[in-house]
Amino acid sequence: MLDDLVDLHHRFFKNLETALEGWFLGVFARFVFAAVLLVYFWNAAVTKLGSGLLGIFQLSPGAYIQIVPGAMEAAGYDPSALSFHHHLIVYAGTYAEFILPALIVAGLFTRLAAIGMIGFVAVQSYVDIAFHGADERTIGALFDRFADAAILDQRTLWLVPLVYLVVKGAGAVSLDHLLARRFIDPLDAPLPAWR
């Protein structure tokens, strides 16, 4: 009886693993990212845009306050007094909030986009702690009994689908996979690891 249950368990999960191999976890990781973080990052990016149709090219002062708060304070909250370097950081950060999530959801250059998002989350967390005065409860602590801190608890969980995508790629249901099949002759070489 026990041997039959163990055999049933083994066959069921082996068949499940075989059926989902190569496509499901990449789709699932991108779905989780889209369901939890896509709109979050796009809304954050929209708050940085200037007014009007050309606001994407002329960012709001709020963008600078959010991304380089110390430099903005030192410049008297005048973005025009900031260096080229600060403008570059603010524009790159704002555009990254639009572009990287879109690439991940589409499964295009997924590994690079996921690495970019991991870096973005790390920088975002640093800025929240160092410049926006996140308190101890907001920062939280790993390996404690509370699981609701916005920075260490939530953002560590954000990293799970991103790290999966870096390590395994977007899988067979992605634009990466289509590009790999289009540009690499399957008889000449295996599909690249970035797909």
pLDDT digits (tens, 9 = 90+) for 139-194: 999 999 999 999 999 999 999 999 999 999 999 999 999 998 887 755 555 655 55
Task: List the pLDDT tens digit at each of the 195 positions of the chain.
Answer: 889 899 999 999 999 999 999 999 999 999 999 999 999 999 999 999 999 888 899 999 999 999 999 999 999 999 999 999 999 999 999 999 999 999 999 999 999 999 999 999 999 999 999 988 999 999 999 999 999 999 999 999 999 999 999 999 999 999 999 998 887 755 555 655 555
Q: What are the extents of the domains in the chain?
A: 25-183
CA distance 158 to 101: 12
Which has the closest alpha carbon to 195: 185, 186, 187, 173?
Answer: 173
Distance CA 96, CA 41 (A): 9
